[in-house]
C-alpha cells in the first residue's frame, strides 16, 4: 500500500500538478547524460587543440614587402591571431556549457537549476556572439580593409561592413537581458522544470530569431558582395582573387551552416512544449557544436587545427594557409616560402 502511494506521489511530482511519465523522464535523462559526457570529452579535446593553435602558432608577415603591402599583411596576421583566440574562447565556453549539465543528472536541489540556467545561457550567448564576430572579422579584415577594395567598393557598402558589428553588439545586449530575465527554472525530483510562460517564451525566442536573422542576412550580404565582384570581374589589379576568394567562400558556407542551424534551433525552442530541460539542452548543445566545428572548418588549415598531431596533413594545410595569407598582397609580390 505504501509502495503504491509512493509511486503515485512520484508520478504526480510536478510543477502545477503535471503528471510525469517516469519511463520517459529516465529515457531523456539517460540521453542527456550520454550526450553530455560524450561532448564533454570532445569539448576537452577541442579546448586543448584550439589552445595549442591560438597561443603557439603565431602567423608571421613577410619581411621583404613594401610599407603598404606590409600594412595589409599585418591586418591579416592580427586578424588570424584574433580569430584563433575567439575559436579557443568558443571551445572553452562550449565545454562549460556541456559540463554544467552533467551534475544536473544527479542534483535535484535548489538553487542548482537557477545557477545552471544562468551559466548555460551566458555561455550560449557568448559562443554565438564570438562565432559571428569571428566570421565578420574574417571577411572584414581580409577583404573590406584591403586598399584595393576600399577604392573599388561603394561608400555605403563600407559603412554597412562596419555597422554590422554594431548590430552584433546590440544583439548581445538585447538577448542577454531577455534570456537572463526570463522566469527561472525550478528544481523537481525529475530534474529542472521550465515554468509555464508561453508568452515570454515566444517573445524571447522571437527576439533572438529576429535579431539574428537581421544580422545574418547582413553578414551574408557582406560575403556575397565580393563573390559578385569576382563574377563580374570588377576586382582591380593588386588583389589576387584566385587566392582570397576560396577564403571568402569558406566563410560564406560556414555562415550559411550556422544560420540554418540557429534558425532551426529557435523554431524548435518555440514549438517545443516540453517542461523538462534534458532534450532542450541536448538539441541546443548540438546547435552550439555545429557552430564551433563550422567555425574551425572555415580555416584553410582546419585539418591541422583539429588533428595537430597527425603529421601527414601538416604540409598540405601549411601550403593552403600560406596561399590564403599571400592572396591579400599585390600579385606582383612573390609569396614567401
pLDDT in tens, 207-239: 877 877 788 788 888 877 776 776 665 555 555
- Reported CATH class of domain 23-326: mainly alpha
Can you give the pLDDT at residue 68?
46
More confident residue, 269 or 316: 269
Question: Tens digits of per-residue pLDDT, 90-111?
Answer: 999 999 999 988 876 665 677 7
Locate the domains of the chain by residue range. 23-326
Tell whether the model's pLDDT for residue 1 goes beyond 60: no
Return the percentage of the chain with pLDDT > 90, whole number: 15
How far is residue 143 from each of residues 139, 226, 227, 243, 317, measured CA to CA in Å? 6, 8, 11, 12, 21
Question: Tens digits of per-residue pLDDT, 143-187?
Answer: 676 666 666 667 787 788 888 888 888 888 888 888 888 777 777
Instruction: Tell me, rounded to whole angstroms, the distance of Cα 13 from its chain centroid.
Output: 37
Contacts of 107 (CB under 8 A, 6+ apart): none
Q: pLDDT band for 329, please (50, 70, 90 cuts).
A: very low
Can you give the pLDDT at residue 243?
62
38-52, 116-130, 208-222, 226-240, range with the lowest pLDDT: 226-240
pTM: 0.79
**If phi over 0 gives left and psi between -120 and 50 gives alpha, with beta otherwise, what is residue 153?**
beta
Amino acid at each position: 500500500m505504501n509502495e503504491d502511494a509512493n509511486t503515485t506521489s512520484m508520478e504526480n511530482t510536478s510543477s502545477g500538478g503535471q503528471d510525469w511519465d517516469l519511463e520517459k523522464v529516465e529515457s531523456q535523462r539517460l540521453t542527456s547524460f550520454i550526450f553530455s559526457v560524450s561532448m564533454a570529452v570532445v569539448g576537452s579535446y577541442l579546448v586543448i587543440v584550439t589552445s595549442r593553435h591560438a597561443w603557439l602558432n603565431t602567423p608571421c608577415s613577410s619581411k621583404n614587402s613594401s610599407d603598404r603591402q606590409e600594412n595589409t599583411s599585418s591586418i591579416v596576421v592580427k586578424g588570424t591571431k584574433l580569430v584563433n583566440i575567439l575559436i579557443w574562447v568558443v571551445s572553452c565556453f562550449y565545454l562549460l556549457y556541456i559540463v554544467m549539465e552533467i551534475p544536473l543528472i544527479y542534483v535535484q536541489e535548489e538553487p542548482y537549476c537557477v545557477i545552471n540556467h544562468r551559466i548555460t545561457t551566458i555561455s550560449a550567448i557568448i559562443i554565438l556572439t564570438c562565432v559571428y564576430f569571428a566570421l565578420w572579422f574574417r571577411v572584414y579584415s581580409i577583404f573590406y580593409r584591403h586598399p584595393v577594395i576600399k577604392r573599388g567598393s561603394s561608400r555605403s557598402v563600407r559603412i554597412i561592413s562596419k555597422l554590422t558589428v554594431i548590430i552584433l553588439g546590440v544583439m548581445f545586449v538585447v538577448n542577454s537581458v531577455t534570456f537572463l530575465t526570463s522566469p527561472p527554472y525550478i528544481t523537481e525530483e525529475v530534474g529542472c522544470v521550465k515554468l509555464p510562460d508561453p508568452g515570454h517564451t515566444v517573445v524571447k525566442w522571437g527576439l533572438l530569431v529576429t535579431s539574428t536573422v537581421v544580422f545574418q542576412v547582413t553578414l551574408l550580404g557582406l560575403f556575397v558582395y565580393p563573390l559578385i565582384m569576382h563574377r563580374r570581374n570588377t576586382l582591380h589589379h593588386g588583389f589576387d582573387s584566385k587566392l582570397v576568394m576560396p577564403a571568402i567562400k569558406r566563410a560564406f558556407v560556414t555562415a550559411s551552416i550556422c544560420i540554418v542551424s540557429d534558425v532551426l534551433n529557435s523554431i524548435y525552442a518555440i514549438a517545443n512544449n516540453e517542461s523538462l530541460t534534458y532534450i532542450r539542452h541536448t538539441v541546443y548543445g548540438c546547435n552550439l557544436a555545429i557552430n564551433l566545428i563550422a567555425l574551425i572548418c572555415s580555416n584553410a588549415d582546419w585539418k591541422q587545427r583539429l588533428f595537430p598531431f597527425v603529421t601527414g596533413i601538416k604540409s598540405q594545410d601549411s601550403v593552403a594557409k600560406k596561399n590564403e595569407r599571400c592572396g591579400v598582397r599585390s600579385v606582383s609580390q612573390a609569396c614567401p616560402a
